[in-house]
Structure 1
Amino acid sequence: MTDNAQLDEHEPGAGSRGAPVPGRPPTFTSWLRGRSDDELAALVAARPDLVQPVPVDIGALATRATTRNPVLRVLERLDHFGLQVLEAVVALGDDRLSEPVGVTTAELSAALGLAPATDPADDLLARALDDLLRLALVWPDRGRLRPVQVLRELLPQPAQLGPPLRPLLAALPHSTVRRLADDLVPDSTAATPVESVATFLSESAHVGTLVGQVGDPARRLLDSLAWGPPHGTVTDARREISLATASSPVETLLARGLLVPTGDDTLTLPREVALYLRSGRLFRDVSTAPPPFEGRENPGTTVTRAAAGQAFTLLRALEELLERWSEDPAAVLRNGGLGVRDLRRAAQAMDTDEQTAALYLETARSAGLIATDDRVEGEWLPTREYDLWRERPPEWRWLRLARAWLGSDRVAALNGSRDSGGRVRNVLGPGLVRPAAPQARHDALAELGTAPPGFAPTQESLAARLAWRRPRRQSPLYTELVGYALAEAAALGLTGRGALAEHTRPLLEDDEEAAARVLASELPTPLDHVLVQGDMTAVAPGPLVTGLARELALVADVESTGGATVYRFTEESVRRALDAGRGIADITDLLERHSRTPLPQALRYLVSDVGRRHGRLRAGTASSYLRCDEPSVLEELVSDRRTGDLGLVRLAPTVVAAGVSRAALVDRLRQLGYHPVPESGDGSMRLSRPEVRRAEPTDVPAPSGSGAPRELSRAAVKAMRAGDEASNIARRPVPLPEDGPPGSRTAAVLEALTRAAKEGRRVWIGYTDTDGRQVSRIVEPSGVDGGFLTGYDATRDAVHRFAAHRISAIAELENTAD
């Protein structure tokens, strides 16, 4: 059967489920069309790339499912045993082998050396074949299994076997094959010499007879090629040889068809001969399970607590940095990244090393919490999403960061390395993208999840299990990405003490509700109190509720972090709160309300003294002026030699004019320790916090949900079934004029559709969509007006309008049932 025969198709009258046409052999598409909706939904859920975009019908799905790139993607997800089973189907089910085409389960079991399972639940081969059928990599053909045709190209040497004899012999000169057929099968009735020799050597008994005729040197040569690779090198491989003239070991093998020349100096061992030499076995060793883990046990609680502690550290570090960047953002480099100095400052602000700071920044960017502004000289700023994010409970804040990291293709560990052109890669800049990174992270964490809770495997045993779990992904880059993933997962709180945290397990299964519940039980509970001490400090023994943390950060400076956070009160910090509009009573009430210890008298004096002096001087615009209700303060100011450059002139006991602008006057007096407050035209003080700036988010991760993929899969199957019906349902074409006056064809289309709408009949239409594609639609017309058809489109399960001039054909349906 040819490649095209596998993807048969559209037979009018076959029905929406596409039953095989009597007299025709089954095809991959007819098998796919005959699968239930649940089975097709499982295929779409397992291979979502097949419905991006949704195929127009099952035939288009079959074509896409057997295309090179989609099949390559699904091959990468097979484990070592599943790949061995697939290679066995490809090797024994090749349609170039002798009839019957395909392979039975019993033949596969024997070729793999698997003992029959006494319990169906323990039948590993049956489970592997079910997975291959679910993924549409193999399909049944009259009781036998066949691989999809593209696998012949993607797995050219399954189980290290060479090609079958037929294609090898077909590539030889006719005279060579004729001589071989005359020597081996002189009385054959086959149609061609190729068929004669291929059929003869497909019998293992015949191969055994021929092998028994060669000497020990020739047998040793066969044995060296038996387990692969199946190619050998020899001088003048295409020499003309017969049984009568063969003298050397190579010639005796060529004369018997046990080796076939495939090049001027290359010989190939045919698949049929190799299978005989292997006694029917395909692999020396069939591995049905991954190698065992090696490592150390940890109490499960210590793992989760360590990971939760790291998650809390991540949240606190990011909030501290992004609050600073709100007022004093970092500059954007010319290449779009973050400079080394700014990264160093960010690491200091987050109390961590530069590599971890780079990871935190990349994760925040992937989560849509930071972005660049739209200035020519750009700056890195928190986004408006950050304001919403910081109001959420800590477990949900962490989940957003963890999900963003899992789906990001950027690798922060590459920060500081050089690209092929010798340019340094910067954090948040180009050059850190690795498309395979998300898959490596999922693979590593999922494999950690197969270990018992609290078990921390060694890197060597984890690498060995990943090599078994994803054999086709193994490469130096993949190994490097897995190493980066493990280090980053520990820094972000997905793992603890080398083991997978309990809150990460449901996250990997897209169950964020469960992940949030587990993490919330381990994170420290936010506190609404502090301990104010006599040395002008306040100690927060744990994380604070959002409102208190924000107010305390306004009135005090963070001095140290760790298990507890220490805040220090200074004149500058108190004045910062006053500048933001807080009064003396507001600050004192805040501290008295939230302190578990009495407020020290020294702190009361500090707040009162700074508050008393705050706003005594007020600056306005003359060029500028100073106003004060206490003449002695202005007298002191005018007499101060340091203010000589301001051009101060006494206008009244409570007013002094200045020769500089108000902004310059305020800045200069603040440097001298006077701390004036700007005044508006009506004499009121103008108090404001430093400007808080925000950038627009670029990529905000969409919330995930476990039910969405299932619903989308079923919707895609429904659309393809409808498209199949539109393509295959029996129909009677409505004649439309090919020639005639302009508009006559459109008029005929409108007339036929109007008649169908009046009679309540469904019709089939051929339609040219806006992309120029020819599509089939089954429509139940409801009205025709203004050159447009309005009707229920069964293919899309919705009401649509169709332009009459785009309708290329109309047909009445024999079966008008819905």
Structure 2
Amino acid sequence: MTDNARPGPGRSSDDPDGGPPGRPPTFTSWLRSRSDGELTALLTARPDLAQPVPADIGALAHRATSRNAALRALERLDRFTLQVLESVVALGDDRLSEPVGAQPAEIARGLGLTPSGAAGEDPLDEALDTLLRLALVWPDHGRLRPVQVLRELLPHPAQLGPPARALLAALPHGTAKRLADDLVPHSTATTPVETVATALSDPDRVAALVSQVGAPARRLLDNLAWGPPNGTVSDARREVGLATASSPVEELIARSLLVATGDDTLTLPREVGLYLRAGVLFQDVSTAPPAFEGRQVPPEAVSRAAAGQAFTVLRAVEELLERWSQEPAAVLRNGGLGVRDLRRAAQAMDTDEDTAALYLEVLRAAGLIGTDNRVAGEWLPTREYDLWRERSPEHRWLRLALAWLDSDRVASLTGSRDAGGRVRNVLGPGLVRPAAPRARLDVLTEMAGAEPGLAPEAGSLAARLAWRRPRRQSPVHTELAGAAVTEAAALGLTGRGALAEHTRPLLTTEGAAAGADAAAEVLAAELPQPLDHILVQGDLTAVAPGPLVTGLARELALVADVESTGGATVYRFTEESVRRALDAGRGVSDITGLLERHSRTPLPQALRYLVSDVGRRHGRLRTGSAGSYLRCDEPALLAELVADRRATDLELLLLAPTVVVSGLNRAALTERLRQLGYHPVPESGDGTMRLSRPEIRRAEPEPAVPDEGGRAPELARAAVRALRAGDEAANVARIPVSLPEGGTAGSRANALMEVLADAADGGRRVWIGYTDTDGRQVSRIVEPARVDGGFLTAYDTTRDAVHRFAIHRVTGVAELGDGG
């Protein structure tokens, strides 16, 4: 029941239900009586009610009792709280006998609970507080009533049938009258339905009726007692009375212990079901989730394992993105990544393809990769990546973790087929599951409830999730929860099966972003600290005993190739790697100086020889465009090249002692000479060497969805202020100002302007009706400041801002009554 009528002028401030005297309380009046803090808690717990912000409390009540909004609220309830709500629906149905609603003591008896006696520790009190906070129930003179939509959403609360009054009302009048005449022959009730319903509302009368049936009929009742309340039988609508009943089913039909609800369906009335259960609503009531079962791991081991995995993730994705900076992967026509490119990405990150798909989806969600705008698109790092890699390791990991928590894409679906038989590709369509973020948060929040270091078994975790969110249980949710466990371990949110300490701050009620700083502080203490030194060895390798500082890591990746990763990273120096550094503009002295500064061990002679030898040969030959040409200051080297039998395919011709031309273009000539071991360097038209690193390209990041999780309470408080202002505008006492009904539109507009100008001169607030740009009729309380040019400039208390109103859109104006 909702009601948005204006309260009477004599409304009592201490009315417990918020309604005016002389009128029955309504859900809307109760909402209106809630404090700003309580309304803020409601909008924080159910943020969908404030998107967009309702015009007033009446609109909020209507939205809160809508089907979709109530369904979303039910999904947030645990099993016990849901049982409490079903108890309120079953016992507080307005189709039962008066008074309407259920008292907490009645609910406790129905659940088989006894008061704990300790303030604040009674699970029933906590559950009722939750239901009141979510506005799923509301108080009415000491009794709790469910919102009306729950009758539709929970048609069989506690597996009980509808009340007898609802079942009997659907019967033909003659059938209802026959039942009334048989069961209550001298009733004074106004209708046969009321006669029978009143009789069944008396447990003593129900007991008497049950005692009259035989043992087979009683067994039928017992079979239906705990639900479901429906049974199937042929010719359920048969006409039968007490005198003509000849079978167990007919005995029950004749006494209204079963009522026909279809041609072959009989239903057990709620009053009869409650009697058969001896007033107990559920066979099994658990006020707490099942205990965790699992193995205990030392908490410090969990933290080390999770931090180690977080470090592995960072190193893997950085390796891939550096490679994609130079050799991007192609974009498929459907926008995804091909199987071959996924396999190459997995090899680059030294992981399996399933984990590689997860990392790629997380990188995209974090805005670190995107597609370029070319016709043949490519996957590239974005400009955000350049900023991201300059941050500390813990903050780099946090960006990935938060992106995963908020992403609605499920990497584990990669390789599966959609309804049309098409294979789903990583980064492509078909991987979106809107429930994925909620499932991930459910899993991690439940794991956070275990003591530190406890790695729960899969069955134990599933049982607790089923208790915590019974309305969300489905094959899809089970699949998403299983994927969340696997993905959390791969990303370093868990370690050795238990939740990591640096993950707990991300699970705050204010949102993951609110706990990011605390999570970063915890993770920073566990991550290995970046090092500024390496150990160069005699076999042309260098060992980095941990993560390197950013500058050293880049320079070392330029001059050496990664040979193996793990707790330490092994780099190998080769001719190609040294030449790569020389091509990027580094000199021999730059390379040796870098290694001498950062190596804790002396540089071996073999490495010095390698660098100097490659450096000596680097650039001795220079390629240009003729078809192409070779130029060298050493005639003997060019003579050696022309005589080299391996170079016959180069079509070389000696023009002068220091110049040779070729039939190949410069790029092909340079590549072929490098394969032959001559190490040429391209030169420009003025004879200077062209040394540069390979082109580094970047893509534009995808537009990010603003994260308002940390601002939820602030937004809720702002919404409450707007609601109060809108409610005041809709319900304030007002004295209409007469406007000319006839005449031209201009005469009415002039009269409006005169009234508003007079209010501006007098500094008075007025009420106006207004048609907004969407065509909606809204109410506003404004303080006029200026009227000119067909517009009213006024302070709008509803919007808490100065606004310009078009005079021709104003539908009415009224002076505010006392207190306005």
Do the aligned partners of 1:762 and 1:816 also contact (CA within 8 Å) in 2? Answer: no
Helix, strand or coil: the match of 2:815? Answer: strand
Question: Cα distance, 1:654 vs. partner?
Answer: 4.1
Aligned to 2:753, the other structure's residue is in SS state helix
Find the aligned partners of 1:768 and 1:433 in 2 and give their Cα distance.
40
> Do the aligned residues in 2 keep the contact of 1:10 with 1:59 (CA within 8 Å)?
no
Instruction: Give 1:670 shift.
Output: 3.1
Contact 2:75 2:470 in 1 (8 A): yes
- Give 1:705 deviation, angstroms: 6.0
2:809 to 806, 811, 814: 806
Deviation of the 1:581 alpha carbon? 1.4
CA 1:45–1:705: 2 relative to 1, 3 Å: closer
2:369 corresponds to? 370
Compared with structure 1, are the counterparts of its residues 721 and 632 closer, same or farther at alpha carbon in structure 2 (3 Å cutoff)?
A: same
Alignment correspondent of 1:754: 757
Q: Note if contact 1:16-1:725 (Cα within 8 Å) is conserved in structure 2.
A: no
RMSD: 2.1
The structure, 1 or 2, with the larger RCO (C-alpha pairs under 8 Å, 6+ apart) is 1
CA distance in 2, matches of 1:522, 1:664: 50
How far is the alpha carbon of 1:121 from its aligned partner? 2.5
| Residues 1:612 and 2:616 aligned together | yes
1:189 aligns with 2:188: yes
Residue 733 of structure 1 corresponds to 736
Equivalence map 1:125-204=2 (5 Å): 125-204=124-203
User: Map of 1:769-808 to 2, 5 A cutoff?
Assistant: 769-808=772-811
- Cα distance in structure 2, aligned partners of 1:546 and 1:82: 52
SS in structure 2 at match of 1:145: strand
Structure-2 residue corresponding to 1:9: 5
* TM-superposed deviation, 1:742: 4.7
1:766 maps to which residue? Answer: 769
1:676-705 CA deviation, whole Å, 9 max, x = no partner?
323234433221110111111114465666
Q: What is the letter of the counterpart of residue 562 of structure 2?
A: V
The aligned runs of 1:318-717 (5 Å cut-off) are: 318-509=317-508, 510=512, 511-622=515-626, 624-640=628-644, 653-658=657-662, 661-700=665-704, 702=706, 706=710, 708-717=711-720
Matched-pair contact (CA < 8 Å) for 2:446–2:465: yes
Question: 1:746 deviation in Å?
Answer: 2.9
Deviation at residue 577 of structure 1 after TM alignment = 1.0
Match of 1:6, SS state, is coil
The amino acid across from 2:265 in the alignment is: T
Conserved 8 A contact 2:12-2:21 = no
Mapped contact 2:767–2:782 kept (Cα < 8 A): yes
Give the whole-Å Cα distance in 1 for the aligned partners of 2:306 and 2:12: 53
CA shift, 1:21, in A, is 2.5
Task: Structure 2: give runs of 5+ residues left out of the alignment.
Answer: none
Distance 1:632 1:393 in 2: 53
Aligned residues: 812
Distance 2:24 2:660 in 1: 104
Distance 1:654 1:802 in 2: 85
The worse-fitting range, judged by mean Cα deviation, of 13-22 and 686-695 is: 13-22
- Equivalent AA in structure 2 for residue 304 of structure 1: S
- Higher mean C-alpha displacement, 10-19 vs 787-796: 10-19
1:786 CA displacement? 2.5
Maintained 8 Å contact 2:18/2:25 = no
> Quick check: 467-476 or 604-613, which moved more?
604-613
**What letter is aligned with 1:746?**
A
CA spacing shift, 1:156–1:739, aligned 2, 3 Å: same
AA paired with 2:721? K
Could you tell me which amino acid in structure 2 is paired with residue 711 of structure 1? E
Q: Secondary structure at the match of 2:120?
A: helix
Q: Is this contact kept in 1: 2:7–2:19, CA < 8 A?
A: no
Q: What TM-score results when the alignment is normalised by the length of structure 2?
A: 0.95
Cα distance in 2 for residues equivalent to 1:450 and 1:44: 25
Pairing 1:272–2:275 present: no
Shift of 1:249: 2.4
Letter in structure 2 aligned against 1:486? V
CA, structure 1 residues 163+653, in 2 after alignment: closer, same or farther (shift >3 Å)?
same
Identify if the C-alpha distance between structure 1 residues 702 and 45 changes in structure 2 by more than 3 Å, giving closer, same or farther. Answer: same
Q: Relative to 1, partners in 2 of residues 1:370 and 1:13: Cα closer, same or farther, differing over 3 Å?
A: farther
- Distance change (3 Å), C-alpha of 1:426 and 1:233: same
Q: Is the 8 A contact 2:259 2:267 kept in 1?
A: yes
1:121 is paired with a residue of what secondary structure? Answer: coil
Cα distance change, pair 86–561 in 1 and its aligned pair in 2 (3 A): same
Deviation at 1:661, TM superposition (A): 4.3
1:466–1:742: structure 2 CA closer, same or farther, 3 Å change rule?
closer
Give the distance between the partners of 1:13 and 1:649, measured in 2 at CA: 108
Q: Measure the CA separation in 1 of the matches of 2:704 and 2:604.
A: 46
Q: CA deviation at 1:529?
A: 0.5
Aligned-pair CA distance for 1:520: 0.8
1:37 equivalent in structure 2: 36
**Per-residue deviation, 1:184:** 2.1
Please tell me whether the aligned partners of residues 619 and 666 of structure 1 are also in contact (alpha carbons under 8 angstroms): yes
CA gap 1:67/1:16 in 2 versus in 1, 3 angstroms:
farther
Which deviates further from its counterpart, 784-793 or 738-747?
738-747
Q: Which stretch shows the higher mean deviation, 485-494 or 232-241?
A: 232-241
Tell me the distance in 2 between the aligned counterparts of 1:360 and 1:568. 27
For residue 790 of structure 1, give the secondary structure of its aligned residue in structure 2: strand
Bigger shift: residues 632-641 or 324-333: 632-641
CA deviations 1:333-385 (Å, max 9, x no partner) are 22222111111111111111111111111111111111122222111111111
Maintained 8 Å contact 1:15/1:725: no
Give the whole-Å Cα distance in 2 for the aligned partners of 1:16 and 1:40: 20
Please give the alpha-carbon distance, in whole angstroms, between the structure 2 residues aligned to 1:489 and 1:723. Answer: 45
Q: Distance in 2 between matches of 1:233 and 1:665?
A: 87
- Given that residues 14 and 729 in structure 1 are in contact (C-alpha distance below 8 angstroms), is that contact kept between their aligned partners in structure 2? no
Question: SS at the partner of 1:120?
Answer: coil
SS at match of 1:743: helix
Out of 538-547 and 694-703, give the one that drifted further: 694-703
CA distance in 1, matches of 2:77, 2:371: 41
1:751 deviation in Å?
A: 2.7
Counterpart amino acid of 2:747? S
State the alpha-carbon separation in 1 of the partners of residues 763 and 8 from structure 2: 23
Residue 539 of structure 1 aligns to a residue in which SS? strand
TM-aligned CA distance change 1:740 to 1:686, over 3 Å: farther
Cα deviation code 1:593-648 (max 9, x no counterpart): 11111111221222222222222333344554443333433443444455566565
Q: Distance in 1 between matches of 2:766 and 2:394?
A: 55
What secondary structure, in the 3-state scheme, does the structure 2 residue paired with 1:542 have?
coil
CA contact (8 A) 1:555 1:576 kept: yes
Q: How many angstroms does 1:712 deviate by?
A: 0.8
Aligned-partner Cα distance in 1 for 2:474–2:709? 32
CA distance in 2, matches of 1:655, 1:12: 104
Partner of 1:259: 258
Overall identity of the aligned pairs, in %:
75
Q: Secondary structure at the match of 1:502?
A: coil
Kindly provide the amino acid, as one letter, of the partner of residue 462 in structure 2.
Answer: A
Alignment check: 8 A CA contact 1:16 1:728 kept: no
